[in-house]
Structure 1
């Protein structure tokens, strides 16, 4: 009984002991199975001596950047080679590995045909591929060449990078590569340098260049942006006229126009009202053959939504802020790149890729050989899309070769007859269309001319200039009278300086002058200091007005605000800077300047019977009313 009672009392303890032993055995067996599975898994995995296993491409890129930044010598051979910069020519096609002008010419003509007359017919195909440099392939880290296509991966590019990251060198190599691959008939450039003007010092001499401006001349930069917008509108009209959807569908399409901007943020800050013109190109340029390459140090917050949506090729060099890096290329690692120019990450819809841009040894040599190849083709040189602003001084009678004038369709005449197609058409100076400089003339057959402006603005100089041309033209013709196609329309020209009193209604001769202005047989050219009594439509067909900058006075003269919208403060005091008003058109002009010797020679010569100064008119105003009328008619030659 005692034994049974003992077993009955210890059964719970025996059960607990057996359960604990079972749990211990289960744990031991589980650990044995886990270790066996781990050993089996490790045997099935390939061994990696250089690269650890990574979860995804972004983590792999981060690891590669760490190797480049901390211990590139400990990396594998491919990564070490990637860290070393390669020459620009090593990434060019085989025909251009040594780019002299002959190899460049052969490459330009690779798909062309020769016409019976000996001229070359270029194919419209354009090669917009650019070797961005070397890259490391994921996940093997094999070294390879990275090529991007501005047409396929673009059409627009954003390049971001801090100072010293290699933006300018990348821009130069990019443009040089496109120039080597395409003739000026296929690809053309406009350079906007808002970092001081040094980036494109060599590239602006390319035969492909249609203009280069910098932030050193904001007025010049405004003209460039206006001209770019006009070119966009011209191409829109061209596509609509031929009923095609893209300009490449034309039989003879215009060249692809690539607008390269160095430091876009500075452009936006200095010309905020003009950035919208570039936004239009970003949204419409693909079908019109216009491309943007924008470089900036700090892209975050500088691009509008519309602009950013159309920048599909994103190149990110070293940045100081990982947030900007993530915003552009999806990874923060460009903020951790070593201080090696040209290292960066590119993203164009296929995931981020590491790259190292090549170095361009001599941009000037590329430009030189491209220029020689273009000269050999004997094609018409590429015309600049815009001119520099109006010069402030254009001497009359000086050959154009001795002047430093902006490019313009007009050469400064060496004699007064270079611009006078007929005796009644007189050269005035240069007129500004907003983007180009053109010859400015006045035509006496259209009617009387008023020259209105304050003292020291160049009224007398202009009157003397016009009169000199008139006298020389008359002396060179057998008939001293100025005639039109109809001999019955012959008229006589009268020149009047300081003639304000003659138009004053309180002057006794005002009625006589008014009749003279309405006489179809007379043409009067007079200088006035005020436009108070000038009636444009009624009395004067042409008014040359020197604005004062005072809104009320300028409005009374009939000056519209858009005509002087781009004027600077110095323009209102510049001698010869005026607005030519003919009908509803108002254009800024810069009048030719006659030197003192030429002016003195004209003014000291025997006075023409049809020339009066203010002193002459004042003397006449003291005579009886009938005398001036007879005197006026007696002045006809």
Structure 2
């Protein structure tokens, strides 16, 4: 640097003298040399600083490596503890573990639980409320992430009753991590990546729960759920294993978890996200709300630095799974996770304690998607109309009904989708309940016979079609294969009768057609059951909204009974109940 600086100083002096003597041309000729010397000096300074920085970094990395080895050695010398020993539920100490769990539930709820041992041999606690409210867990395959999540959840369940704590498990590793914990009375939902439709429902349900809690806090005029004395909803912990897989397979759903992470503290909702690579696979918006970082062994120092601010976790020996570092913003501490000796035993103890306390099982946060085939319907007391299917609101299933007396009902779909099945089911239901007079008009398989009228109450062939209802009854017509009867140029004698009935407020016409070519929507049928064809334009013309049509998968376009219930301005995906064809006899 001195050898470069000396010529530079000499040229500066020469430039000053030339400027003083007003030798402008000589001064201008000296400028390129002066600039070159200055650039060389700056380059040497930058290289010198880079070497110093690399030396310091190498010293820091070596120092962190030695500290990590020392921490691992101290933890390895300690006797490995089981979770049962940390929470006082060892079989040799307490043969009836449920009594200890039930006794602990009598105290105030707390998120502060022991989950392992520190490098000093003391119990290591994690407090998701004080250190969180959310946590990010990182570690490579085999580092002990699943064991950590299982022990943490079991410790929380043994400390808090189901009335104060709920779990939602999102396992994107095939469902192996949380399957033993699904029997916990705290669990209100568990999904895995083997059923992405189910996982999507879970995330929608979590977002709906977030909005529900926002309304509760607003109605109580409180700042957060802790101010809602006596009416506060239980805390909810959403545990997502292999978060990077969730991001890859359901990228549109990640913003829902980000929103929960940003608003969850005030609403009593906590997120524990687990991933193999925190750098690059967890967005900045998500990490900004993850105050608690738990890093097990990772493959490189970049991943460790992302979570801890140091490379210590990259130097954990592979032979020591469960060793981790905890960064809670105040300090970085080494600890070792305690494994559970017998998970089923602890789950049984928690379940028995819940029975002893008389805890009412919480309703599931979400249900499974619509089944491919529905043999029976659950009881639906007080149903408004004829229950005929299971409806899906995107989160849970409910019994869907077709109202009778609020307008005509159209059933539109191709052959084999379940139109006749639906008409038979409705006619038999009304006949059994004796709700109204209900003749059925349906075409026989022999085209020469034309239309044959059946009386659903007696199952016999009728001689004609009544044009008016009996006193005190509402007339309902069920017309199968109604395409020719709706044709404006049809010459069948029933065409005129059907047109008059469609305009008669005292008659409800339930008709089935293959297409909506001759159907005036909504004049003919403000209420419809549409079985999708797979053609977007055709289905939307029949009334299926774009969002409902998009929710149908490829299989939904061919599953018998899978359709959409359109009741005026609302649309709901449904799966119709299967019903054997009615047997009719001649009177």
Shift in CA distance, 248/93, structure 1 to aligned 2, threshold 3 Å: farther
Structure 2, unmatched stretches of 5+, are 1-58, 438-454, 458-468
* Residues 115 and 155, structure 2, Cα contact 8 Å, conserved in 1: no
- 2:475 is aligned, of 467, 487, 492, to 492
SS at match of 2:509: strand
Shift of 1:207: 0.2
In structure 2, C-alpha distance between the alignment counterparts of 1:527 and 1:79, rounded to whole Å: 73
In structure 2, C-alpha distance between the alignment counterparts of 1:456 and 1:591, rounded to whole Å: 13
| Residues 412-427 of structure 1 aligned to structure 2 (within 5 Å) | 412-413=377-378, 419=380, 421=382, 425-427=385-387
Q: Which residue of 2 aligns with 1:31?
A: none
Shift of 1:89: 2.2
Q: Which residue of 2 aligns with 1:242?
A: 220
Q: Which residue of 1 aligns with 2:484?
A: 501
* Residues 261 and 289, structure 2, Cα contact 8 Å, conserved in 1: yes
* Residues 148 and 337, structure 2, Cα contact 8 Å, conserved in 1: yes
Q: Which residue of 2 aligns with 1:63?
A: 66
In structure 2, C-alpha distance between the alignment counterparts of 1:546 and 1:102, rounded to whole Å: 55
- 2:77 is aligned, of 81, 94, 112, to 81
TM-score (norm 1): 0.74
* Residues 419 and 426, structure 1, Cα contact 8 Å, conserved in 2: no
SS at match of 1:539: coil
In structure 1, C-alpha distance between the alignment counterparts of 2:258 and 2:415, rounded to whole Å: 45
Query: Does structure 1 residue 335 correspond to structure 2 residue 314?
Result: yes
In structure 1, C-alpha distance between the alignment counterparts of 2:381 and 2:219, rounded to whole Å: 37
Structure 1, unmatched stretches of 5+, are 1-55, 73-77, 111-124, 137-141, 397-411, 608-637
Shift of 1:259: 0.1
Query: Does structure 1 residue 191 correspond to structure 2 residue 169?
Result: yes
Q: Over the residues paired in the alignment, what is the CA RMSD in angstroms?
A: 2.6
Count of residues in correspondence between the two structures? 495
Q: Deviations over 1:114-133 (max 9, x none)?
A: xxxxxxxxxxx421013231
In structure 1, C-alpha distance between the alignment counterparts of 2:83 and 2:63, rounded to whole Å: 27
In structure 2, C-alpha distance between the alignment counterparts of 1:580 and 1:475, rounded to whole Å: 22
Shift of 1:455: 0.7
* Residues 158 and 311, structure 1, Cα contact 8 Å, conserved in 2: yes
In structure 2, C-alpha distance between the alignment counterparts of 1:333 and 1:284, rounded to whole Å: 32
Shift of 1:193: 0.3
Q: Which residue of 2 aligns with 1:203?
A: 181
Shift in CA distance, 105/60, structure 1 to aligned 2, threshold 3 Å: farther
In structure 1, C-alpha distance between the alignment counterparts of 2:331 and 2:307, rounded to whole Å: 12
TM-score (norm 2): 0.80
* Residues 132 and 355, structure 1, Cα contact 8 Å, conserved in 2: no
Q: Deviations over 1:203-227 (max 9, x none)?
A: 1110000000000100000000000
Query: Does structure 1 residue 380 correspond to structure 2 residue 375?
Result: no
Shift in CA distance, 591/168, structure 1 to aligned 2, threshold 3 Å: same
- 1:429 is aligned, of 385, 389, 403, to 389
Shift of 1:60: 6.8
Q: Deviations over 1:228-255 (max 9, x none)?
A: 0000000001111111101111022110
In structure 2, C-alpha distance between the alignment counterparts of 1:563 and 1:535, rounded to whole Å: 22
Q: Deviations over 1:47-97 (max 9, x none)?
A: xxxxxxxxx99987642422467xx4xxxxx55434x52111232269997
* Residues 133 and 145, structure 1, Cα contact 8 Å, conserved in 2: yes
Shift of 1:576: 0.3
Q: Deviations over 1:112-163 (max 9, x none)?
A: xxxxxxxxxxxxx421013231112xxxxx4322212100000000110001
Q: Deviations over 1:596-635 (max 9, x none)?
A: xxx2xx233348xxxxxxxxxxxxxxxxxxxxxxxxxxxx
* Residues 481 and 490, structure 1, Cα contact 8 Å, conserved in 2: no
| Residues 236-385 of structure 1 aligned to structure 2 (within 5 Å) | 236-251=214-229, 252-339=231-318, 340-385=320-365
In structure 2, C-alpha distance between the alignment counterparts of 1:551 and 1:309, rounded to whole Å: 41
* Residues 71 and 334, structure 2, Cα contact 8 Å, conserved in 1: no
